[in-house]
Amino acid sequence: MTSPKVQLISESLVKPLHQLSSDAKQPIHFTPFELVFLTANYSQKGLLFAKPSEKHQPFSITDFLNKLCHTLSATLTHFYPLTARLATQKQQNPPSYVIYIDPGNSPGVKFVYAKTDANISDVVSPFAIPLLVHSFFDLNNNINHDGHTVPLFSVQVTELTDGIFIGASVNHIVADGTSLWNFMLTWSEIFRSNDQNGGSISRPPVFKRLVVEGCDPIINLPYIHPDEFIERFRFPHLLEERFFDFSATSISKLKEKANAEYKTRKISSLQAVSALLWRCITRVRRPLHNADTVCKLAINNRRRLDPPLSDNYFGNPVQLVRGTASVEELMAHGLGWAALILNEVVRKHDDMAVKNWAQAWSKAPTILKMSELFEPNAISIVSSPRFDMYGCEFGLGKAVATRSGCGNKADGKITMFPGRNGGGSMGIEICLLPEYMMKIECDEEFTSALASN
């Protein structure tokens, strides 16, 4: 029996529904938090829906796609930078190399329709995530710098035999998870509203740029050609991906256990779960006891700044913080000890820490190499179970599942999702080398936490 394939049916570019003002065509400059990730892949997240029942009214994929396109166009009137391309202003004397969004050059976002003979059960079969899911996304393997020539945002709608997958690929220096899901929720809001021309929305995006004190609002990179910093990284080994559902009950027990070890209440659910993953993955990798091991957490800086940024701020004000311990220490102590390390690095990541980093980077800008990000004995935890992914319905009801694409994947990459059942539950996508994945599914601490579901 042959494996299901994805067939491209059509693609087009979608522009804003309404005419943009002259102010909306002004350059939008990037912050240090964004430029540092120029060579990362696009962020890719998607939602799997069941096709509507045809008992009362036949489902027309043509009508659905037309409505999606129209309401996407209406949504882009509010999120117009997504239709643009990147531009670089270069000059020799004085030396200048400035990358920015150029809304004056706005060919549109890409809209792709594809089909597959796979069904929902092929995608959400217990634990294993098939490689087929990567084909549900566009712009695979593109890096953020490619936004000079490829769309900053692309949507691929893949029709399954019994379902619909809507996969979004967004340039990750243009938008983080908070911005992406604000966009997706707004699009869904317009799709389901009586005003599908999108005249007003509940959460208008804020495009006014964050300028950190001591940093230039327009950052001049120390390069004369992109070859000086471009790296196209693909993890050189075969990886396996698994999706684990942690119930609200199991997470509550983990949090309670972590806090009880040190008679505290300050460890959060996310810190307790992150500590569990850090310990279990380190254990199955079996590194040398005197080696260091690292847990990296992606942190949204909006509310860490003083004054804070609006949650509607559209950009990527995100950083990675690091919890570090020797393998011997991590294994000798309990869950609470590891969780307190993470609690402490998160607590210390305050307004001063954010601004100090931005000021130091601005004095000597460097672009992160993804090959250096995925270091040995480390895990990287990204995205958030707090994103309202299941609030995006597009007239199809609540999504069956959430999934991510192939971008920025390596051994130890963990992506957090909200649990479908809500109430504090989480979906956790783990990416590991096959020999480690096989062992973690037998790890007693990990399976005990899952058994509490």
Q: What is the pLDDT of residues 396-449, one digit of tens each?
A: 999 999 999 999 999 999 999 999 999 999 999 999 999 999 999 999 999 999
Indicate if 150 and 295 belong to the same structural domain: no
Indicate if 71 and 205 belong to the same structural domain: yes
452, pLDDT greater than 80: no
The predicted pLDDT at position 18 comes to: 87
Residues 71-125: pLDDT tens digits?
999 999 999 999 999 999 998 777 789 999 999 999 999 999 999 999 999 999 7
Residue 3 and residue 438: Cα distance in Å, rounded?
Answer: 23
Q: What phi and psi, each to the nearest 5 degrees, are found at residue 178?
A: -60, -45
Are the CB atoms for 105 and 151 separated by under 8 Å?
no
Indicate if 263 and 298 belong to the same structural domain: yes
Indicate if 176 and 256 belong to the same structural domain: no
Is residue 377 left, alpha or beta, with left meaning phi > 0 and alpha meaning psi from -120 to 50? left
**What DSSP string describes 237-289?**
S--EEEEEEE-HHHHHHHHHHHHHHTT-S---HHHHHHHHHHHHHHHHH---T
Residue 198 pLDDT grade (very low, low, confident, very high; cuts 50, 70, 90): confident
Indicate if 206 and 308 belong to the same structural domain: no
Residue 427 belongs to domain spanning: 240-451
Q: Tell me the mean pLDDT in the region 316-327.
A: 97
The predicted pLDDT at position 24 comes to: 84
Residues 142-177: pLDDT tens digits?
999 999 999 999 999 999 999 999 999 999 999 999
Residue 288 pLDDT grade (very low, low, confident, very high; cuts 50, 70, 90): confident
In a domain, 79, yes or no: yes
In a domain, 157, yes or no: yes
The predicted pLDDT at position 56 comes to: 66
Residues 214-227: pLDDT tens digits?
899 999 999 989 99
Give the residue from 184, 202, 228 where a domain finishes.
228
Indicate if 176 and 250 belong to the same structural domain: no
453, pLDDT greater than 70: no
Express as a percent the part of the chain with pLDDT over 70. Answer: 99
Instruction: Collect contacts of 303-307 with beta carbons under 8 A, ≥24 apart.
Output: 304/349, 304/350, 304/351, 304/354, 305/210, 305/351, 305/354, 305/355, 306/351
Indicate if 223 and 275 belong to the same structural domain: no
- pTM score: 0.96
Q: Tell me the mean pLDDT in the region 311-332.
A: 97
260, pLDDT greater than 60: yes
Give the residue from 178, 207, 228 where a domain finishes.
228
Say which residues have a Cβ less than 8 Å from residue 229's Cβ, sequence separation at least 6.
38, 39, 221, 223, 367
CA dihedral 13, 318, 212, 39 (to 10 degrees): -60
Q: For residue 183, give both structure tokens.
A: 């966009």
Give the residue from 228, 259, 277 where a domain finishes.
228
Residues 46-83: pLDDT tens digits?
999 999 987 767 889 999 999 999 999 999 999 999 99
Indicate if 66 and 98 belong to the same structural domain: yes
1, pLDDT greater than 60: no
How buried is residue 190: exposed, middle or buried, by Cβ count under 10 Å (0-12/13-18/19+)? buried
CA angle at 419 for the pair 339 and 324, rounded to the nearest 5° = 20
The predicted pLDDT at position 126 comes to: 73
In a domain, 25, yes or no: yes
In a domain, 145, yes or no: yes
Residue 244 and residue 422: Cα distance in Å, rounded?
Answer: 15
Are the CB atoms for 176 and 133 separated by under 8 Å?
no
Q: What is the mean pLDDT of the chain?
A: 94
Indicate if 285 and 419 belong to the same structural domain: yes
Q: What domain count does the chain have?
A: 2
Reduced to 3 states (helix: H, G, I; strand: E, B; else coil), residue 367 is coil
In a domain, 136, yes or no: yes
Indicate if 48 and 159 belong to the same structural domain: yes
CATH classification of the domain holding 263: 3.30.559.10
Indicate if 212 and 275 belong to the same structural domain: no
Other beta carbons less than 10 A from residue 83's beta carbon: 23
394, pLDDT greater than 70: yes
In a domain, 1, yes or no: no
The predicted pLDDT at position 295 comes to: 98
The predicted pLDDT at position 214 comes to: 87
In a domain, 30, yes or no: yes
Indicate if 16 and 53 belong to the same structural domain: yes
Nearest to 164 by CA among 123, 131, 126: 123
Quickly tell me which residue has 């309401």 as its tokens.
71
In a domain, 34, yes or no: yes
